[in-house]
Structure 1
């Protein structure tokens, strides 16, 4: 599934980040019995694949399980979606601390996360389960914690 987006954000009239589109690349769902949603373990994995200095494909993968051990699992869901982003400079030379890399690594994840949340809710609402609704996440904190834990 590919949805076209041509959204544009401008920071301090210096850089513009364009969100070209996003794609739900992979959905894996294994469900042996109905789960109520309590006790589910959620993990989110970001990945930035740079095309060049000012453009990248940014991916978010979310894995939701009821048990870590595969043999004991009743529920497993993994969704990966990706978006294409491009940063454009207005050509002015400044001392700005805002870099293309920071915009692509951090802000793109903040833009993609609501699409991931919506995809997971839609997928899990099919059938007899209550939908899994991920809470809003401060992506900048998430990225910083992820960087520290590596």
Structure 2
């Protein structure tokens, strides 16, 4: 019997690098907290071991300086450690980047819900996201900003 194929992407571990929580105004128990949420992702490759990389998800929610707009401010940064099988590095890099964010995001969602629930306020529950769509939008914005910077530099 043939052995099953190896999975191209391995999730090794994650760590929480940063948590910041500020409660300005205690919301009512049945009040839903509505926050502007910003999600940023970053991929860092290991120079010595190109099949290993770190996926970083940074999320900020609420307004830090203008509490009239938001009863809560929170910021989290979570690092996930991943590995791609060496024989598939070139073929699966983009696939691995998108899927590593998809794998790590539920941990970040749970962290945010836990922080707010343990603060004894209505928990902030981030909705599931379409990671592939989000990553495509991020790339479009980066390309637009790069084109804009190049245009401004040469005008």
Task: Give the alignment's TM-score, normalised by structure 1.
Answer: 0.77
Which aligned pairs between 1:1-150 and structure 2 lie closer than 5 A?
13=5, 16-35=8-27, 36-52=31-47, 53-65=50-62, 67=63, 70-72=65-67, 74-90=71-87, 99-150=91-142
**Is the CA contact (8 Å cut-off) linking 1:15 and 1:90 kept in structure 2?**
no
Structure with the higher strand share, 1 or 2: 1
Shift of 1:82: 0.5
In structure 2, stretches of 5+ residues that fail to align are 143-155
| Count of paired positions | 131
| 1:97-139 C-alpha deviation (Å, 9 max, x unpaired) | x724213321100000000000000001013310000000010
**Which ranges of structure 1 fall in alignment gaps of 5 or more residues?**
1-11, 92-97
Matches of 2:32 and 2:56, distance apart in 1: 25
Render the CA deviation track for 1:12-55: whole Å, top value 9, x for unaligned.
94762111100011100111212444431011010111104321
The two structures have a TM-score, normalised by structure 2, of: 0.75
The Cα RMSD (Å) is: 2.2
Partner of 1:9: none
Q: Which has the higher helix share?
A: 2
